[in-house]
């Protein structure tokens, strides 16, 4: 099946620093990628929809200047958490929709656990 | 965003028994999908059922969809310890641009 990777798998950083998370579709092209965050024992919360070559669409309540998304190619989207604070600590998950398929199935990355001290 | 309700929130059964989880949603959908998430890990796609389908099987998994009641169920037969995980339903709403709307999840524990 299709594979989506995320890097890094976990990161610990100091408050005020910026952290970049990469999401790659390894064996398919993805015009659309989605970024989620998940708090412990909760469901996924969609943060933004990332479209290749255009600006991301952010969900209500998600600060676009705080969570910068870049989808520069059909296989790579990045999420940068700028000036991270402890409340940004969370599990961040990306997913990608296969351009070639019917697009019904999203393939998920393994997630990135962020801890801001 | 979430529109799904899942029940039960948690389910603990003996290995070998069947596990049934339910999901309800609010809007018209193109399809409904079930995912599994092991603790602290990414999501694994289990099965997709389209709005014009009523039942689908995949190995030990059986999914039903009742669009009139806006509900779905996931049955895992002959459960195994390795089935211990959280299970989420997600709907691809009719006008959502492929965004998935997630249920709250069911935590399934299989006791050996």
Q: What is the pLDDT along chain A (117 residues), one digit of tens a residue?
A: 678 999 999 999 999 999 999 999 998 888 889 999 998 888 899 999 988 888 899 999 999 999 999 988 889 999 999 999 999 999 999 999 876 666 677 889 999 999 999
pLDDT at B17 over 90: yes
Chain centre distance of CA A4: 11
Interface contact B30-A104, CB threshold 8 A: yes
Look at the block and give the residue holding tokens 């339903």: B89
> SS3 letters for chain B?
CECCEEECCEEEEECCCCEEEEEECCCCEEEEEEEEECCCCCEEEEEEEECCCCEEEECCEEEEEECCCCEEEEEECCCCHHHCEEEEEEEEECCCCCCEEECCCEEEEEEC
What sign for the dihedral angle of Cα A68, A72, A78, A80?
negative
Compare all CA atoms of chain B with the CA of A50 and give the residue at the minimum distance: B99
Say yes or no to pLDDT of B3 above 60. Answer: no
- What pLDDT was estimated at residue B89? 95
Percentage of chain B exceeding pLDDT 70:
93
What mean pLDDT comes out for the span B10-34?
Answer: 94
When mean pLDDT is compared across A104-108, B85-89, B101-105, the lowest value belongs to A104-108
A107 vs B97: CB contact, 8 Å cut-off?
no
CA nearest to A110 within chain B: B42
Q: What is the pLDDT of residue B41?
A: 85
Nearest to A46 among B33, B99, B103 (CB): B99
Contact A101, A5 (CB under 8 A): no
Residue B10: its pLDDT value, please?
93
Distance of alpha carbon A10 from its chain centroid, rounded? 13
Task: Decide if B43 and A104 are in contact by the 8 Å CB cutoff.
Answer: no
**How much is the pLDDT for A51?**
85
Does A103 reach chain B within 8 Å, measured CB to CB?
yes
CB atoms within 10 A of CB B9: 12
The mean pLDDT value for B1-24 works out to 87
Give me the pLDDT at residue B39, please. Answer: 86
The tokens for A4 are 């989506």
Q: Report residue B1's pLDDT band, with 50, 70 and 90 as the boundaries.
A: very low
pLDDT level of residue B99 (50, 70, 90 thresholds): confident
């Amino acid at each position: 099946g299709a594979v989506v990777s995320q890097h890094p798998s976990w990161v610990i950083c100091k408050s005020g620093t910026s952290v970049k998370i990469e999401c790659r579709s390894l064996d398919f092209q993805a015009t659309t990628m989605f970024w989620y965050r998940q708090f412990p024992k909760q469901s996924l919360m969609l943060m933004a929809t990332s479209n290749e070559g255009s600006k991301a669409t952010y969900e209500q309540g998600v600060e676009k200047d705080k969570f910068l998304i870049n989808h520069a190619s059909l296989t790579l989207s990045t999420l940068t958490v700028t000036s991270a604070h402890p409340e940004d600590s969370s599990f961040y998950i990306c997913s990608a929709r296969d351009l070639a398929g019917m697009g019904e199935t999203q393939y998920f990355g393994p997630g990135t656990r962020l801890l801001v001290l | 965003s979430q529109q799904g309700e899942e029940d039960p929130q948690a389910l603990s059964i003996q290995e070998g028994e069947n596990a049934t989880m339910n999901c309800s949603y609010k809007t018209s959908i193109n399809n409904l999908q079930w995912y599994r998430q092991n603790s602290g890990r990414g999501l694994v796609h289990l099965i997709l059922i389209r709005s014009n389908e009523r039942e689908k099987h995949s190995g030990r998994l059986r999914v039903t969809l009742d669009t009139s009641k806006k509900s779905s169920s996931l049955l895992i037969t002959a459960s195994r310890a390795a089935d211990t995980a959280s299970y989420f339903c997600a709907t691809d709403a009719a006008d959502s641009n492929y965004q998935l709307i997630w249920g709250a999840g069911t935590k399934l524990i299989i006791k050996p």
